[in-house]
Structure 1
Amino acid sequence: MDNKTLSIVSYITIIGWIIAFAIGKDKADDLLKFHLKQALGLAIFSIIYQFLLGIIITITGITILSILGLVVLALMIIGIINAANGVKKPLPIIGSMFEDKFAFIG
Protein backbone atom coordinates (compact mmCIF):
# COMPACT_ATOMS: atom_id res chain seq x y z
CA MET A 1 0.00 0.00 0.00
CA ASP A 2 1.18 3.51 -0.68
CA ASN A 3 1.27 6.26 1.93
CA LYS A 4 -1.86 7.96 0.62
CA THR A 5 -3.88 4.75 1.02
CA LEU A 6 -2.45 4.19 4.49
CA SER A 7 -3.41 7.76 5.40
CA ILE A 8 -7.01 6.99 4.46
CA VAL A 9 -7.02 3.64 6.30
CA SER A 10 -5.72 5.29 9.46
CA TYR A 11 -9.07 7.06 9.98
CA ILE A 12 -11.13 3.86 9.83
CA THR A 13 -11.36 2.89 13.51
CA ILE A 14 -8.42 2.22 15.80
CA ILE A 15 -7.79 -1.09 14.01
CA GLY A 16 -7.27 0.78 10.75
CA TRP A 17 -4.87 3.10 12.54
CA ILE A 18 -2.86 0.16 13.90
CA ILE A 19 -2.68 -1.40 10.42
CA ALA A 20 -1.59 1.89 8.83
CA PHE A 21 1.02 2.48 11.53
CA ALA A 22 2.42 -1.06 11.37
CA ILE A 23 2.67 -1.18 7.59
CA GLY A 24 3.82 2.39 7.04
CA LYS A 25 6.20 3.04 9.93
CA ASP A 26 9.32 2.25 7.90
CA LYS A 27 8.40 4.18 4.75
CA ALA A 28 6.28 6.98 6.21
CA ASP A 29 6.39 10.38 4.53
CA ASP A 30 5.15 13.67 5.99
CA LEU A 31 1.61 13.09 4.71
CA LEU A 32 1.26 9.71 6.42
CA LYS A 33 2.82 10.94 9.66
CA PHE A 34 0.46 13.92 9.71
CA HIS A 35 -2.65 11.82 9.16
CA LEU A 36 -1.54 9.16 11.64
CA LYS A 37 -1.31 11.88 14.30
CA GLN A 38 -4.69 13.35 13.33
CA ALA A 39 -6.37 9.92 13.25
CA LEU A 40 -4.95 8.90 16.63
CA GLY A 41 -6.07 12.21 18.10
CA LEU A 42 -9.53 11.64 16.64
CA ALA A 43 -9.67 8.14 18.15
CA ILE A 44 -8.75 9.44 21.60
CA PHE A 45 -11.21 12.32 21.25
CA SER A 46 -13.90 9.86 20.15
CA ILE A 47 -13.51 7.67 23.22
CA ILE A 48 -13.65 10.61 25.61
CA TYR A 49 -16.47 12.32 23.70
CA GLN A 50 -18.67 9.21 23.58
CA PHE A 51 -18.07 8.55 27.29
CA LEU A 52 -19.03 12.09 28.29
CA LEU A 53 -22.00 12.12 25.93
CA GLY A 54 -23.22 8.85 27.44
CA ILE A 55 -23.03 10.34 30.93
CA ILE A 56 -24.92 13.48 29.86
CA ILE A 57 -27.65 11.42 28.17
CA THR A 58 -27.95 9.19 31.24
CA ILE A 59 -28.24 12.14 33.62
CA THR A 60 -30.62 14.26 31.55
CA GLY A 61 -32.58 11.48 29.88
CA ILE A 62 -32.64 13.47 26.65
CA THR A 63 -32.05 10.83 23.99
CA ILE A 64 -32.10 13.35 21.14
CA LEU A 65 -28.55 14.23 22.23
CA SER A 66 -27.40 10.91 20.77
CA ILE A 67 -27.42 12.67 17.40
CA LEU A 68 -24.34 14.53 18.64
CA GLY A 69 -22.53 11.20 18.30
CA LEU A 70 -22.41 11.90 14.58
CA VAL A 71 -19.80 14.61 15.21
CA VAL A 72 -17.06 11.99 15.32
CA LEU A 73 -18.32 10.40 12.10
CA ALA A 74 -18.27 13.79 10.38
CA LEU A 75 -14.70 14.44 11.54
CA MET A 76 -13.68 10.98 10.32
CA ILE A 77 -15.14 11.68 6.87
CA ILE A 78 -13.38 15.05 6.70
CA GLY A 79 -10.09 13.37 7.60
CA ILE A 80 -10.57 10.71 4.93
CA ILE A 81 -11.33 13.36 2.30
CA ASN A 82 -8.23 15.35 3.29
CA ALA A 83 -6.08 12.21 3.13
CA ALA A 84 -7.54 11.19 -0.24
CA ASN A 85 -6.77 14.65 -1.64
CA GLY A 86 -3.22 14.47 -0.27
CA VAL A 87 -3.49 17.62 1.84
CA LYS A 88 -2.17 18.14 5.35
CA LYS A 89 -5.13 20.07 6.72
CA PRO A 90 -5.99 19.67 10.42
CA LEU A 91 -9.40 18.40 11.40
CA PRO A 92 -11.89 21.11 12.41
CA ILE A 93 -12.13 21.88 16.14
CA ILE A 94 -9.69 19.23 17.40
CA GLY A 95 -7.00 18.91 14.72
CA SER A 96 -4.69 21.67 15.89
CA MET A 97 -4.39 20.02 19.31
CA PHE A 98 -2.68 16.96 17.83
CA GLU A 99 -0.27 18.47 15.29
CA ASP A 100 2.70 18.48 17.68
CA LYS A 101 1.72 15.49 19.81
CA PHE A 102 2.57 11.79 19.49
CA ALA A 103 6.32 12.08 18.97
CA PHE A 104 6.63 8.31 18.52
CA ILE A 105 4.99 8.66 15.08
CA GLY A 106 7.69 10.93 13.78
Structure 2
Amino acid sequence: AASGLSQANTEGETSDNLIVGFPIPAILNELKRGRNLKCSVCRLHGACVGCVVNACHTTFHLPCLIKAQGVTIFEGNFPSYCRRHANRQVCLVLHVIGFRL
Protein backbone atom coordinates (compact mmCIF):
# COMPACT_ATOMS: atom_id res chain seq x y z
CA ALA A 1 0.00 0.00 0.00
CA ALA A 2 1.10 3.51 -0.62
CA SER A 3 0.84 4.37 3.04
CA GLY A 4 2.40 1.19 4.37
CA LEU A 5 -0.97 0.21 5.85
CA SER A 6 -2.76 -2.85 4.49
CA GLN A 7 -6.10 -4.28 5.42
CA ALA A 8 -5.61 -7.52 7.30
CA ASN A 9 -7.56 -10.73 7.08
CA THR A 10 -10.33 -9.80 9.49
CA GLU A 11 -11.50 -13.36 10.13
CA GLY A 12 -11.57 -13.94 13.86
CA GLU A 13 -11.19 -10.22 14.64
CA THR A 14 -13.91 -8.41 16.50
CA SER A 15 -15.11 -5.00 15.41
CA ASP A 16 -13.63 -3.66 18.66
CA ASN A 17 -10.14 -4.38 17.24
CA LEU A 18 -10.75 -2.89 13.77
CA ILE A 19 -11.42 0.47 12.16
CA VAL A 20 -12.79 0.08 8.61
CA GLY A 21 -11.10 -3.33 8.36
CA PHE A 22 -7.71 -2.14 9.63
CA PRO A 23 -6.34 -3.49 12.93
CA ILE A 24 -5.99 -0.66 15.47
CA PRO A 25 -2.32 -1.49 16.32
CA ALA A 26 -1.43 -1.25 12.61
CA ILE A 27 -3.12 2.16 12.40
CA LEU A 28 -1.17 3.41 15.43
CA ASN A 29 2.12 2.12 13.94
CA GLU A 30 1.36 3.85 10.64
CA LEU A 31 0.59 7.14 12.40
CA LYS A 32 3.94 6.94 14.18
CA ARG A 33 5.76 6.14 10.91
CA GLY A 34 3.97 8.93 9.03
CA ARG A 35 4.88 11.58 11.61
CA ASN A 36 8.54 11.11 10.69
CA LEU A 37 8.00 11.60 6.95
CA LYS A 38 8.23 15.01 5.30
CA CYS A 39 6.01 15.98 2.38
CA SER A 40 7.96 16.58 -0.83
CA VAL A 41 5.58 19.43 -1.78
CA CYS A 42 4.85 21.49 1.35
CA ARG A 43 7.89 20.23 3.33
CA LEU A 44 5.78 19.68 6.47
CA HIS A 45 5.93 16.49 8.53
CA GLY A 46 3.14 13.95 8.66
CA ALA A 47 3.16 12.74 5.06
CA CYS A 48 1.76 9.22 4.76
CA VAL A 49 1.55 8.62 1.00
CA GLY A 50 4.64 7.68 -0.97
CA CYS A 51 5.33 6.89 -4.60
CA VAL A 52 5.25 3.09 -4.91
CA VAL A 53 8.15 2.97 -7.37
CA ASN A 54 10.87 1.29 -5.28
CA ALA A 55 13.67 3.66 -6.29
CA CYS A 56 11.53 6.75 -5.66
CA HIS A 57 11.51 8.21 -2.17
CA THR A 58 9.00 11.05 -2.60
CA THR A 59 6.32 11.28 0.08
CA PHE A 60 3.20 13.41 0.20
CA HIS A 61 0.11 14.40 2.07
CA LEU A 62 -2.68 13.16 -0.21
CA PRO A 63 -3.89 16.72 -1.06
CA CYS A 64 -0.30 17.70 -1.88
CA LEU A 65 0.09 14.66 -4.16
CA ILE A 66 -2.97 15.74 -6.11
CA LYS A 67 -1.75 19.36 -6.22
CA ALA A 68 1.61 18.12 -7.56
CA GLN A 69 -0.15 16.16 -10.35
CA GLY A 70 0.55 12.75 -8.85
CA VAL A 71 -1.88 9.86 -9.15
CA THR A 72 -3.52 7.55 -6.62
CA ILE A 73 -5.39 4.50 -7.84
CA PHE A 74 -8.39 4.01 -5.54
CA GLU A 75 -8.40 0.24 -5.96
CA GLY A 76 -6.52 -2.73 -4.56
CA ASN A 77 -3.67 -1.51 -2.34
CA PHE A 78 -4.32 2.13 -3.37
CA PRO A 79 -0.92 2.68 -5.03
CA SER A 80 0.25 6.28 -5.43
CA TYR A 81 2.67 7.66 -8.00
CA CYS A 82 4.56 10.95 -7.99
CA ARG A 83 4.25 13.14 -11.09
CA ARG A 84 7.45 11.68 -12.54
CA HIS A 85 6.11 8.13 -12.38
CA ALA A 86 2.39 8.87 -12.88
CA ASN A 87 2.66 9.24 -16.66
CA ARG A 88 3.69 5.60 -17.09
CA GLN A 89 0.84 4.48 -14.85
CA VAL A 90 -1.77 6.52 -16.73
CA CYS A 91 -0.54 5.10 -20.06
CA LEU A 92 -0.76 1.56 -18.65
CA VAL A 93 -4.35 2.14 -17.48
CA LEU A 94 -5.32 3.57 -20.87
CA HIS A 95 -3.77 0.53 -22.59
CA VAL A 96 -5.60 -1.92 -20.30
CA ILE A 97 -8.99 -0.29 -21.00
CA GLY A 98 -8.27 -0.26 -24.74
CA PHE A 99 -7.88 3.49 -25.24
CA ARG A 100 -5.75 4.37 -28.26
CA LEU A 101 -3.70 7.54 -28.34
TM-score by length of structure 2 reads: 0.29
Structure 1 or 2, whichever has the larger Rg, is: 2
More strand by percentage: 2
The structure showing larger relative contact order (alpha-carbon pairs under 8 Å, at least 6 residues apart) is: 1
TM-score by length of structure 1 reads: 0.28
